[in-house]
Amino acid sequence: MSDNNKTAAASAMWGGRFAGGPAAIMQRINASIDFDKRLYAQDIRGSKAHCRMLVRQAILTPEDGDAILAGLDTVLAEIEAGSFPFSAELEDIHMNVESRLAELIGEAAGRLHTARSRNDQVATDFRLWVRDAIDGMDAALKDLTEALLDRADQHAATVMPGFTHLQAAQPVTFGHHMMAYVEMIGRDRSRLTDARKRLNESPLGSAALAGTSFPTDRHFTAAELGFDRPMRNSLDGVSDRDFALEFMSASAICAVHLSRLAEELVIWTSAQFRFVRLSDGFTTGSSIMPQKRNPDAAELVRAKTGRVIGDLTALLIVMKGLPLAYSKDMQDDKEPVFEAADTMELAIAAMTGMIRDLTVNTDVLRAAAGAGFTTATDIADWCVRALRMPFRRAHHVAGSLVKLAEDKGVGLEDLSLAEMQAIEPGITDEARAVLTVDSSVASRTSFGGTAPIRVREAVAAARALLGGQAP
């Protein structure tokens, strides 16, 4: 584009106040088309709703309205076909669309911007995009939940060690462990749902910051775009980015959950644990060590959490010092949101694939479930129930039994009755029966407990909720 054409483009955007075009460095820092062209579908959708409202309110003639709508359809088709000539000189997606529309239909294109500003236009586009991103992420998280539920159902009675401080604590079931992540992902989906509800108000019609003198119908455009209502304050309408922050905050928390599960997969697939095995589709080898099977997909999910947290922090810092209403700083609101959404899409898909494909080494889990005296609490509980012993004393008895077994280099279940009675005379063979990992998990029948019957109930209730039924 020649300097004269650049000047013309600048004048078309900014009006008669500017005689010359921007400096080259200003064009580079000011242009956002390289990333905000992702808003093209939302921008065209918002423009069509605005056009229909202008015609309905007799602000535009039906003939101009028809020409604009047809032209916008042509622009949309060109972008989707990959033939649209995006221009950095036109700064952003809004002016690129408007400029092409003018080439297609002439002067009528200039009437589309009546009673709106790029400020409320971008705020509307961005809300529509984030709303779509929320819907997409929610669907992906539903798929992950279904994968976790399938595993939980399959392994409702598969015993494994439960950990605190990454030390063997008490036996649990693999299904119970998977259901913990079902709960986490459920909260993630709930946060997204809440964010979507607050997001679903339309800023369109707020104009630059003060509203408009034209007789617009903001309730009409809000309904056309699937919003619940128009935003109540025009200043807030153009300057609010809470919806983006909430989306990214929910994404960051979800990413932390994915990272925790990824960390467990990294640990569980190690030669020292061997709890699970990931398929070839989600592991890689080593360039020098032929025996290696590296859990790279899990490690990358774990790493990408930092990106999402960083994106949230970046936008919080952009927004923290801005006076009302719009400032150009807010042009930098989109890249972190786009990156966070892309990262989450990839991470959730990878995690879903890993959960569906992994092999659970049930024998290894069973052997590990009893290691480290994990049923010590069961003998303490038995003393409380059968001998009416205060729990603190029962805890001491169980600890003494653990020390004896540890000194002898055997498990609690390998101690003889006589050895146990030497520490507590009231212990009977009935107490020895509670020391198996199966009896331990089967006894944990409290609501939310690890007993297989409770795990299966939890799976059934979660499936009902997933299907939109009352549990």
Catalytically active residues, by annotation: 165, 286
Q: Are strands 276-277 and 359-360 parallel, antiparallel or unpaired?
A: antiparallel
| Tokens 């997933």 belong to residue | 466
CA–CA dist 465, 326 (Å, integer): 41
Q: Give the Cα-Cα-Cα angle 258, 262, 267 (nearest 5 degrees).
A: 150
Backbone angles phi, psi at 206, to 5 degrees: -70, -20
Specify whether the CB–CB gap between 335 and 126 falls below 8 A.
Answer: no
The DSSP symbol for 57 reads: T
The stretches of 320-375 forming alpha helices (DSSP H) are 334-357, 362-370
Can you read off the two tokens belonging to residue 57?
């309110």
Specify whether the CB–CB gap between 95 and 13 falls below 8 A.
Answer: yes
CA distances from 309 to 253, 257, 329 (A): 8, 12, 20
Contacts (Cβ under 8 Å, ≥6 apart) of 440? 170, 171, 374, 375, 378, 434
The H or E element spanning position 46 is helix 40-56
CA–CA dist 46, 404 (Å, integer): 74
**DSSP per residue over 9-34, as a string?**
HHHHHH-TT--SPPPHHHHHHH--HH
List Cβ<8 Å contacts ≥24 apart for 327-336. Answer: 328/30, 330/239, 330/241, 331/32, 333/126, 333/241, 333/244, 334/32, 334/35, 334/36, 334/38, 334/39, 334/126, 335/35, 336/248, 336/310, 336/311, 336/312
Q: Are strands 201-202 and 229-230 parallel, antiparallel or unpaired?
A: parallel
Specify whether the CB–CB gap between 358 and 322 falls below 8 A.
Answer: no
| Tokens 């003060």 belong to residue | 210
CA–CA dist 108, 297 (Å, integer): 52
CA–CA dist 43, 354 (Å, integer): 37
Can you read off the two tokens belonging to residue 365?
């889990």
CA distances from 56 to 50, 52, 218 (A): 10, 6, 12
